[in-house]
Structure 1
Amino acid sequence: MTHNTPLSPRPVRRLSEVRRRVMSTARLRAHGISTAELDEQCRPGGPWRQILPGIVLLHPGPPTSEERLHAALLYAARESAAGMPGVPSQPNADEPHRPVYKEAMITGLAALALYGFASAPPLTSLDRIDVLVPRLRRLRTTGYVRILRTPALPTPRQVTGLPVAPVARALADAVAELTEGGAVRRLLTEAVRAGHCEPAAVVRELTQAKLLSRPHVVDAVDSLVAEGRAVAEDHLYRMVREHGLPDPVWNVDLRLPGGPHLGGVDAYWPEQAVAVELDTRAPRQDDDALWSEYARKREHLERLGITVVHLTPRKLRHALEQQAAVVRTALMASNDREPAAYVLVLPR
């Protein structure tokens, strides 16, 4: 058999349950259903009905949430080598049929509901399902499916067997349609508090979507950054407590006696002259200038003999033990360094 040899039609009974309930007209024809029979089955009051262009629901009742999602992806997916959307060119006959949706993924509020966001409406209450496709695809918004386009399609995550946009991208697509500041703030806060993604990733997507010109989004981002810092600080406290590090002084300003202010740090060990600084910056238009300020402060402190350990919320979330080892190494190395300059440690 060559790759051009047509595949024998697969009996409908051998398809997975959802695939027996929602199918494309192309797939139905591959199973031997003629156009005339299809029209007869989809007549008013008939046992089937067309719920999207080229997509048929194989029962007369309303579609379930799962059926609506699969139908939306079937509608938007690029045709496979077999000539049918959502169908791999060489399915394994020994395994249940699993649809492969090429160049299409669920995004927006439907994606957040699939991720389990408590602040997102349930799938059953959504009038529309957003589907993300490449910019050059010739598709139109129709029925309950809204087509969103992007120059570069992100790598989807598989959630309940469906391709779903990464959380940060799904958030940006959802926020683009929301006008109520409280709803936006709840979604962004939950994304960080529940560990779905980092604040920087969310703000990056919002910036690319040109949403930071909207006042209610800016207000929500300020809350997001504050939430991200609070979560990162909790991880920092836990790192010190659980990994046997000596107690530092927390959230202090450093100043030369009679001299200039050196800047604030999140944790400081005066005897070892080691400081920890959390990088909770959100990428905005002035990010380069802010990073330059961070770099200048670090260089100044290190010229005075103070070791600065730079930690990110992501590192603290995913590699806490490793970050504790980094701080412990800096503390132990203080015995091998020249004494640091004397600095005043003041509450911040």
Structure 2
Amino acid sequence: MTHNIPLSPDTAHDVRHRVQSVAQLRARGVTSAQTAARCLPGGPWQQLLPGVYLLHSGRPSDEERLRGALLYAGRPAAAPARRTVPVQAGHGYGEAMVTGLAALALYGFASAPPAIALHRVDVLVPRTRRLRSTRFVQVTRAAVLPRPQRRLGLPLAPVERALADAVSALDDASTVRRLLTEAVRGGHCEPVAVVEELNAAELLGRAHVTDAVDALLMEGRAVAEGRLYEMVRTHGLPEPLWNVELSLPGGRLLGGVDAYWPEQAVALELGVRSPREQHVVFAAEREHLERLGVTVVRVGSKQLREAMSQQAVVVRTAMMAAEDREPAAYVVALPR
């Protein structure tokens, strides 16, 4: 008999009660001897993971496996036998959170279907935890844990961290590319945040990851440019020169920008570059342009998605401020 059920909020309450840690059982007055007796062959219960029990004899559902993995990784301290309430707030998961493909499946990634992604559950825990991977649970450690997101009451690593943990276990280039592309195209996260996580995980040295990152940044730029075009059109901004390379009349290059309003000497740069370009190249270009009297506005793709009208105000304000400053140096704009 199978107990697989849809992952939906309506079933969360029942599932929590069907998966219990030894500490939670003791808090409800169930002794170790009683637990062992109920887990004997033919008994009504079974041990799902060390210290975690499934309170039925059938096959565990996907959600039961997820909750069991979190209980195993959370390892709440055993409570006194007289206690009759749940051991910990947060269902006994401690600081543990789901990451990797399992987390991406819960975020709704089509490239991480539950039937495959939940076969193995990656859990992220503090580096100081003494915990081994076992059965279907793979333990991943972090020196500093990110702030978890929640789906169905389950703590999940942020999408960019879950992506990095998933990619670290994948050798298939097409799967890596699909995951990274879906992350940006689906609006789950920004490309720069993904690249930063991949860099922190020391994954950018892998050839198939590097190729996927190139595709990711191209996808991110296409999405951001689409939002930028929409901002100019829907908020009545003057039409700029798109995607130009700025230079001095003598030919010295000043850097490329995504939009340039020559009459107001306002340039706009989309924040979709790699971390190194973002912190080094852009800073140098901006400093040089502003010395020449060109105002540089930097806008992130996330800002365009979540606060487009505010970004339009920022650009319009920069244009209005041009009336009160010294004229900018003459700059040549060429297609890039």
TM-score (normalizing by structure 1) = 0.86
What do the CA deviations read for 1:129-180 (whole angstroms, capped 9, x no partner)? 1111111212111111111111222221111100111111111110010001
Tell me, yes or no, if structure 1 residue 339 matches structure 2 residue 327.
Answer: yes
Distance of aligned partners of 1:337 and 1:83 in 2 relative to their CA distance in 1, 3 Å threshold? farther
The answer to whether the 8 A contact 2:27-2:87 is kept is: no
Moved more, 294-303 or 218-227: 294-303
Structure 1 position 90, deviation (Å): 7.3
- Tell me the amino acid that sits aligned with residue 121 of structure 1: P
The answer as to whether partners of 2:19 and 2:53 remain within 8 angstroms in 1 is yes
SS in 2 for 1:188: helix
Say if 1:130 and 1:157 are closer, same or farther in 2 by CA, change over 3 A. same
Larger helix proportion of the pair? 2
1:75 counterpart residue number: 72
Alpha-carbon distance in 2 for matches of 1:290, 1:149: 28
- Answer yes or no: is the 8 Å Cα contact 1:275–1:307 preserved in 2: yes
Q: Which amino acid aligns with 1:234?
A: G
Deviation at 1:125, TM superposition (A): 5.7
User: Which residue of the partner structure matches residue 103 of structure 1?
Assistant: 95
CA contact (8 A) 2:241 2:259 kept: yes
| Aligned positions of 1:93-132 closer than 5 A | 99-123=91-115, 126-132=118-124
Name the Cα RMSD after superposition: 2.2
- Rounded to whole Å, the distance in 1 between the matches of 2:116 and 2:279 is 44
Indicate the SS of the match to 1:266.
strand
Q: Is structure 2 residue 138 aligned with structure 1 residue 140? A: no
Please give the per-residue CA displacement for 1:214-266, whole angstroms capped at 9, x wherever unaligned: 10011111111111111111111111111111111111122333332222211
What is the CA–CA distance in structure 2 between the aligned matches of 1:127 and 1:292, rounded to whole Å?
42
Moved over 6 A (4+): none
How far apart, in 2, do the equivalents of 1:240 and 1:300 lie? 26
Match of 1:266 in 2: 258
Deviation, structure 1 residue 50:
0.9
- Unaligned segments of structure 1, at least 5 residues: 1-14, 92-97
Task: Provide the rounded CA distance (Å) in 2 between the counterparts of 1:264 and 1:76.
Answer: 48
Alignment counterpart, residue 30 of structure 1, candidates 8, 27, 30 = 27
Unaligned runs of 5+ in 2: 1-11
Residue 89 (structure 1) shift: 4.9
| Number of residues of Structure 1 aligned to a counterpart in Structure 2 | 322
Deviation, 1:46, is 1.7
8 Å contact kept, 2:257–2:267: yes
Measured after TM superposition, the shift of residue 290 of structure 1 is 6.4
What letter is aligned with 1:46? G
**TM-score normalised by structure 2 residue count:** 0.89
